[in-house]
Structure 1
Amino acid sequence: MGFVENLVLVFVAGFVTALATGLGAIPFFFFDSISDRGNVVLWGLSSGIMVSASVFGLIEEGLAEGGPAEILAGMAVGVVLVVVAHNVITNAEVDPREYGEADFKKLLLILGVLTVHSFPEGVAVGVSFADLNLGTGPQFLGFTIPVLAIFMTVAISIHNVPEGTAISIPLRAMGVSEWKMVWWAVFSSLPQPVGAVIAFAFVRLARDFLPLGFGFAAGAMIYLVLTEFIPEALEHGEGLPNGGKLELLGGVAIGVSIMLPLAFI
């Protein structure tokens, strides 16, 4: 197989992982309204999923490729990204149409950070295809696919489903329709096939930057949870007993319990 055909296969693998994110919005097709208590739990669920994905997924993968200093440097840059993006979006003139302006700016920030976070995962997919057509692994459509590439594509696809749910929760709270939630969930992962192709084409260089990339994504996501998701949950819980803190902790615990088993896949 030629180089172009190889790139197409890697792109398709990355696109499969992106499509899996859209599955996370499917539960929202089955209920219409959400109470304040339910909203607090869902924001907590989203927070638990994102922090777990950062700690047990991105940071763990980064440490497997590099040292703590690289991860911490990447995380610091990720935090700066969220701060700068927040300031830019807050001061930007936007047309929110049917959404409140504040909600629309929060939506832009959340989607922006989650879209950026998916790029390193795509890079990981591309790197896993480094030994494509070198004679080891199963045959598929004339390609000899490395076992690591199959594992990485499946693992990231599975991880992306609850991340799609995490993305859909704030969208649901803002009144976004179900199919739009599916679209935005998939959109947030579209950098994955792009990152996969770039990483496969420059696999040696991409592998060197993986620790920074994973740390960058983790820092951005954790900071977003602390500064946007949890305050939003507590705002919804103001009228509940204990300010909704028990519901928030319960949602976080559920999110962590969902993601913990995926750390061993």
Structure 2
Amino acid sequence: MDSNVMVMMASALVTGLGAIPVLFIRNISHRRMDAILAYTAGVMMAASTYGLIPASLKLTNLYILAFGVLAGALLLNMLEYFIPHTDMDHQRVDITLSSQSWMLIMAMTLHNIPEGLSVGASLASEIESLGLVVALSMALQNAPEGFLVAIFLVNQRVSKPTAITFAMATGIMECLAGFAGLYLVQIALFLVPYGLAFAAGAMLFIVYKELIPESHGHGYERLATFSFLLGLLSMIGLVEWFR
């Protein structure tokens, strides 16, 4: 198998691997859930501001970056209107999956499309080390993303295998988009800076609109704040370690 294909598939499938730890988690308290959400928010914040945005700026200018970031945030904002928000802790007993979780799953799936496109096109380009840097950035953020999707579903009493399956499905979309980028590099390479910025905007929307407010709603704001900082530093440390 071509090395570029292997790297691309590994980067995307890390999403499913990131969801596996939910198998070993029991009785998720508000305190623990808030810490997990805040840590994940920190990782996604670092992935956006330290990975995706700088990578986009290297390939384009501030105007395209701003367009992509705003487009990613606006799309998720529109998505929320089609999937009305409900409180996870006050939903009707007959609802299997809250609309908030559906929005999170769809948001992760949608923003994985430009991510996969960016990885595939970057790997197929002749720009030195760009492909590996982009693939690594995506892989490092995909693990907590998969865990986030799975932990949300488990918290809603969805079976753990089903939760992991949903998380893996979001990663499969990135893999498919990666193949498109890999084999349509001449077209996709032009879209890479837009895709990176779009993915950053989508993640920042999730961080500020969903994760941070949710992690500060049960009286554990200080714990959540330090968990956020730990996630931020963990992501930056991993990127620096593998550079």
Which interval holds the TM-score relative to the shorter structure?
0.7 to 0.9
Structure 1 counterpart of 2:205, from 204, 210, 223: 223
Structure 1 residues 155, 187: closer, same or farther in 2, change over 3 A? Answer: same
Structure 1 counterpart of 2:100, from 106, 110, 126: 106
TM-score after normalising by structure 2: 0.84
Structure 1 residues 215, 153: closer, same or farther in 2, change over 3 A? Answer: closer
Q: CA deviation at 1:41?
A: 0.8
Structure 1 residues 225, 128: closer, same or farther in 2, change over 3 A? Answer: closer
Q: Which amino acid aligns with 1:59?
A: I
Q: CA deviation at 1:234?
A: 2.4
Q: Quick check: 1:128–1:149 contact (8 Å CA) kept in 2?
A: yes
TM-score after normalising by structure 1: 0.77
Q: CA deviation at 1:181?
A: 2.6
For 2:148 and 2:230, the matched residues in 1 are separated by 12
For 1:99 and 1:171, the matched residues in 2 are separated by 15
For 1:80 and 1:121, the matched residues in 2 are separated by 17
In the TM superposition, 1:139-154 aligns within 5 A as 153=135
Equivalent residue, structure 1, for 2:215: 233
Q: Quick check: 1:74–1:219 contact (8 Å CA) kept in 2?
A: yes
CA deviations over 1:32-83 (Å, ceiling 9, x no partner) = 1011211111111121122111112211221121112111101111111111
Moved over 6 A (4+): 96-99
Equivalent residue, structure 1, for 2:227: 251
Q: CA deviation at 1:11?
A: 5.3
RMSD between aligned residues: 2.8
Equivalent residue, structure 1, for 2:124: 130
Structure 2 counterpart of 1:117, from 95, 103, 111: 111
Equivalent residue, structure 2, for 1:138: none
Is 2:79 the partner of 1:89? no
Stretches of structure 1 that go unaligned for 5 or more consecutive residues are 133-145, 238-242
Structure 1 counterpart of 2:156, from 167, 174, 181: 174
For 1:42 and 1:208, the matched residues in 2 are separated by 36
For 1:175 and 1:254, the matched residues in 2 are separated by 28
3-state secondary structure, aligned to 2:157: coil
In the TM superposition, 1:4-23 aligns within 5 A as 13-23=7-17
Q: Quick check: 1:10–1:197 contact (8 Å CA) kept in 2?
A: no
Higher-Rg structure is: 1
For 2:227 and 2:155, the matched residues in 1 are separated by 15
Q: CA deviation at 1:219?
A: 1.0
Structure 2 counterpart of 1:188, from 170, 183, 193: 170
Structure 1 residues 98, 195: closer, same or farther in 2, change over 3 A? Answer: farther
For 2:28 and 2:171, the matched residues in 1 are separated by 26
